[in-house]
Chains A and B, each alone.
Chain A
Amino acid sequence: MEKKWEEMSSDEKQEELFNRWLSPKDPEGNDLKFQNPKAEKTYKERITRIKDAAQLKKAPDRVPVCPLPNMFPTFYYGITPQEAMYDYDKCSAAWKKFVLDFEPDAHMGCAGPGPGKFFEILDYKLYSWPGHGVAPEHSYQCNEGEYMTADGYDALIDDPSNFFSNVYLPRVFGKLEGFRMLPALTGILEMYGVAFNFIPFGLPPVQEAYKALFDAGAEALKWAGSVGGFDGEMAISGFPALLGGFTKVPFDTIGDTLRGTRGIMLDMYRQPDKLIEAMEALTPLMIKMGVGAAQMNGKPVIFIPLHKGADGFLSDEQFKKFYWPYFRKVLIGLIEEGCVPFPVAEGGYNSRLEVIKDLPKGKTIWMFDTTDMARAKKTIGTVACITGNMPTDLLALGTPQQVKDYAKKLIDTAGKGGGYIMTNGAFFDKVKPENVKAMVDFTKKYGVYK
């Protein structure tokens, strides 16, 4: 008899999630029908290759290769990022061409650009996007600010959900201004007084906010149909989607979009205890976010973009005090539920390599941007799969031969004995297609383990 999820060890849970990834379902929940037996075989080989690289038990048949673009597919297809954000079918067509032409071992789906109209409906202030604050041919960018003020910690710590609905959302979405008036749902208890709590829902600003939400929801659904269908279509052709979900490091959750870089850096001095308390409160939420997505999507790999812990952003002591403890708790929480956390260390992570290697073996995949890969291999690489480091400037301005030379160096050092996936260092936009092609094709040839 099959073991229940709760009775499984974390190893068994990871195996189970890999199995679910290997046996994809169609939207009705039946086994996915592949285009042909070859597509099915290729699909499974690709996942097995990534699984072997991740688990560090044995070398895969060859180095897996996954070019992970930002807006590159739009330029390659001949549309602007703006068109990709507003015409969902064009967006998925662009990403489809990218996957079919470059044949990566896994892709990150076409949800990256996001639905432009949806953001407009809600008057999203946190980002500027093509045609809406940045040029049509550029990618979206974050508008940093103090969306949580310095005195907001207690409200966040006491009740994170209420803080998000009543404080944070009205600040980042202009159309959700009315949410400031929402009652605390935990006050809805007994017959007496229940109706008081519902008064806000009768007020025009709250009703306006809900109307905007319904419209936004309808738009999100429309978009999801297009981007969700993309993953299924690619799977049928033999190309697995890499990600089961995404979550963040508590320090980045607060530092990126709540307090902002400047805010959190001042808090480290002025109210370190509150900051730590808030990160403790957010940790279980960040774990649930990743675990829930992995369960829903039936895939173990959980993307964690890393920002404020890079070299130079924090001292060693600051990293060890504020960043790593809660980051590690999130990683362990995900690992215990069978996930394979996929932290993406943008910038340099050289000074962190000794610290982050304190992890169980074969449970994580670390993507590095400018980090020294030989050092990464000797440190974190002894317990985790490493990936990345193909430089953006080389992909943008180099020649295919230069890309191949660099790829060879990566395979020889980082790829030695397995545990490496060939990818770019940073998510790329406009680069030379022939260079992306060179990275993929060379790896498939030279990266075979004998």
Chain B
Amino acid sequence: MAGDLVSTLADLKEKEALGIVQDRLSAGDDPLSILDDARRALEIVGKRFADSEYFIPDLVYSGEILKGITDMVKPKLAKAAEVKRLGKVVMGTVAGDIHDIGKDIVVFMLDVSGYEVYDLGVDVPAQKFVEKIKESGAPIVGLSGFLALAFDSMKETVEAIKAAGLRDKVKVMIGGGQMSEEIRKYTGADAYGKDAMAGVTLAQKWVGAK
């Protein structure tokens, strides 16, 4: 009999988790229910990270195990699973900065918290943010940056959003390396998040307020 995928994956037992998935697929289990369990497990991982029980390596590893599970389940899926999402977020590391770890963690945390995240990657020009906001209609924008040069890129990105007439349609949060409340003021963003959880809290506040 297959063990509990939710707790096994949440406890980061890769081999066991993949074994359970294999057993359940062989037994003809619904692939969607497997993915749903995986999603619930990742929620637990996110919560443990928020509680400082898990750290970055644990997030990275859980994401890797999930990838393995998705690879196994995907061929059995009739069509892409429709998941109800809380809201849309456009995320990226601003122009000139190619650091991705912090941004990836926020993307991960938002994703497991139920948000649809458009990850634009690193070194993202201001205009690309603007285009994605237009295209997706996302009400939340996350600007990530590790280097001090990101102060200016963030400011320019916020200005570009304003110039496109979108400033009152989105809330902008910034985070990463040397960011602070002072930098937030400088860039013209709406909020500064000290860590990944702060990003999720902000998104919840903003989506709830809508």
Chain A interfacial positions (CB closer than 8 Å to B): 128, 134-135, 137-139, 141, 143-144, 261-262, 265-266, 268-270, 312-315, 318, 347, 391-394, 396-398, 426, 428-431
Contacts and interface: CB of A to CB of B under 8 A. Distances in A.
Nearest to B100: A144
Contact of B60 (A138, A265, A312, A394): A265
Interface in B164-198: 177-180, 182-183, 186, 195
A139 B146 CA distance: 12
B198 to A, nearest CB: 13
A392 B152 CA distance: 14
A34 B98 CA distance: 44
Contacts of B12: 269
Given A143-B98, A393-B183, A265 B56 contact: yes
A261 B149 contact: no
Given A268-B57, A318-B55, A394 B98 contact: no
B186 A141 contact: no
B182 A393 contact: yes
A135 B149 CA distance: 11
A269 B61 contact: yes
Contacts of B58: 315
Interface residues of B, number: 30
23 contacts: A134-B98, A138-B96, A141-B97, A262-B60, A265-B61, A266-B60, A268-B61, A269-B12, A269-B14, A270-B14, A312-B55, A313-B56, A314-B57, A315-B54, A318-B55, A392-B148, A393-B182, A393-B183, A397-B183, A398-B182, A426-B178, A428-B148, A429-B149
Contacts of A398: 182
Contacts of A143: 98
B61 A139 contact: no
**Which 7 residue pairs across A and B have the least CB separation, nearest first?**
A265-B57, A265-B60, A392-B178, A315-B55, A393-B180, A138-B96, A141-B98
A135 B96 contact: yes
Contact of B178 (A139, A270, A314, A393): A393
A73 to B, nearest CB: 14
Contacts of B179: 393
Q: Which of A134, A270, A318, A430 gathers the greatest number of chain B CB atoms within 10 Å?
A: A134
B55 A430 contact: no
A314 B148 contact: no
Q: Which of B12, B14, B54, B123 gathers the greatest number of chain A CB atoms within 10 Å?
A: B123
Nearest to B186: A397
B64 interface: yes
A266 B183 contact: no
Contacts of A266: 60-61, 64
Contacts of A141: 97-99, 147
A442 B168 CA distance: 44
B118 interface: no
B61 A397 contact: no
Given A141-B98, A270-B14, 18 more contacts: A134-B98, A135-B96, A141-B97, A141-B99, A144-B100, A261-B60, A261-B101, A265-B60, A312-B55, A314-B57, A391-B178, A392-B178, A393-B151, A393-B179, A393-B183, A397-B183, A426-B148, A429-B148
Contact of A313 (B14, B55, B148, B152): B55
Interface in B22-42: none
Interface in B144-160: 147-149, 151-152
Q: Which of A268, A269, A391 gathers the greatest number of chain B CB atoms within 10 Å?
A: A269
Contacts of B101: 261
Nearest to A141: B98
B99 to A, nearest CB: 7
